[in-house]
A = this chain, B = another copy of it.
Amino acid sequence: MIIGIDLGGTKILTAVADKNGKVIASVKVDTQAKLGPKKVIDNLKKSVTLALDKANIPLSRISCIGVGAPGPIIGDGTIVSPPNLPGWKKVDIKKLLEKMFRKRVVVENDANAAALAELMFGAGKHAKNLLYITISTGIGGGIIINRKIYRGSFGIAGEIGHMNVLIDGPRCKCGNRGCLEAVASGPSIARFAGKNDALAVEISARKGDKRSLEAIGQAAKHIGTTVGSVNNLLDLDMIVIGGGVANMGDLLFKPIRKWASKCAMSITRKHLKIVPAKLKTNVGVMGAIAICLKGSPDEARRAKSGDE
């Protein structure tokens, strides 16, 4: 049996699952991020105890604990200053949880874990090379190469939200200008449409509101052009798009596909496949389960030494 933990800025989602990724029980507790790392770790521990109780399974039957965490992960499992966990400079959460539970612990960036979850349990079951994008408050991504998470040379690959799409474009939260996130995230769409959030834009757009349709169309143009370009570079089996904004469905996917196809080379166009994520709000916890099932210590060691 496996425990998957989705460590978010406001909630901790913890599930007990079997070796096939089937969830037996899951619980949700407040992260209480403002109270600092110690309190958050206490809440992690509490969530594990609660989930085991709910599943009626003793800790002794657990073989691995997977954690999907925001921000970059250094080394095997050190969380470094994630934007939505204030006060976390460098916390070796892997070591902490290993000591606490005496179990194998696997820690992964949440977007990478989500990409693996879509590969193993979601839209990408038959894919070899896949890009996962999440569009919500920000735009993040995870890359799967040869059915494995691709972390890059320094563990920070996948930042599709900070690819430049508009030279000298609007300022992004990261400090640069014209990033995809700055023109196509939920808040960017809402701002352009003069609404409070992306959901309000969607509702107006479905009623035919011109400005809302335009806001969605513009975001889709940038997302589509970016994924079409990335597909020319990486020649992927598929691009999976999730996150709150992706719930708009065809309103967003139709123009995304149009622009991606426009920018794809003719030789790649016929292979271009852009699909909505299958896993919804549970993608985080399924990602945490996926990294346990996939990321055996041997595999990790091989990947590290570069001779896989």
A176 proximal to B (CB < 8 A) = yes
Q: Mark A184-228, 1 if CB is under 8 A from B, else 0.
A: 000000000000000000000000000000000000011001101
- Please tell me if the beta carbons of B263 and A157 are within 8 angstroms of each other in the complex: no
Inter-chain CA distance A226–B72, complex, in Å, is 23
- Please tell me if the beta carbons of B128 and A153 are within 8 angstroms of each other in the complex: yes
For residue A128, which residue of chain B has the nearest CB?
Answer: B306
Chain A, 136-174, CB within 8 A of any chain B CB: 141, 143, 145-147, 150-160, 162-167, 174
Q: Which of B151, B160, B235, B263 interacts with A233 by CB under 8 Å? A: B160
Inter-chain CA distance A162–B264, complex, in Å, is 8
A175 proximal to B (CB < 8 A) = yes
User: Which of A146, A164, A165, A271 is packed against the most chain B CB atoms within 10 Å?
Assistant: A164
Inter-chain CA distance A249–B40, complex, in Å, is 52
A62 proximal to B (CB < 8 A) = no
- Please tell me if the beta carbons of B266 and A154 are within 8 angstroms of each other in the complex: no
- CB contact under 8 A between A157 and B233, given known A174-B266, A175-B266, A308-B146: yes
Top 7 A-B residue pairs of the complex, sorted by shortest distance between their CB atoms: A152-B235, A157-B235, A163-B229, A159-B232, A153-B237, A164-B263, A162-B232
List A residues at the B interface (Cβ < 8 Å). Answer: 72, 127-129, 141, 143, 145-147, 150-160, 162-167, 174-176, 221-222, 225-226, 228-230, 232-237, 262-268, 271, 303, 306, 308
Query: What would 9 more interface pairs be, CB under 8 Å, given A127-B153, A153-B235?
Result: A153-B236, A154-B268, A157-B234, A159-B233, A160-B232, A162-B229, A165-B167, A176-B264, A230-B233
17 contacts between A and B (CB under 8 A): A128-B153, A146-B306, A147-B306, A150-B234, A152-B234, A154-B271, A157-B234, A157-B235, A158-B233, A159-B235, A160-B232, A162-B229, A162-B232, A163-B230, A163-B232, A164-B228, A176-B263
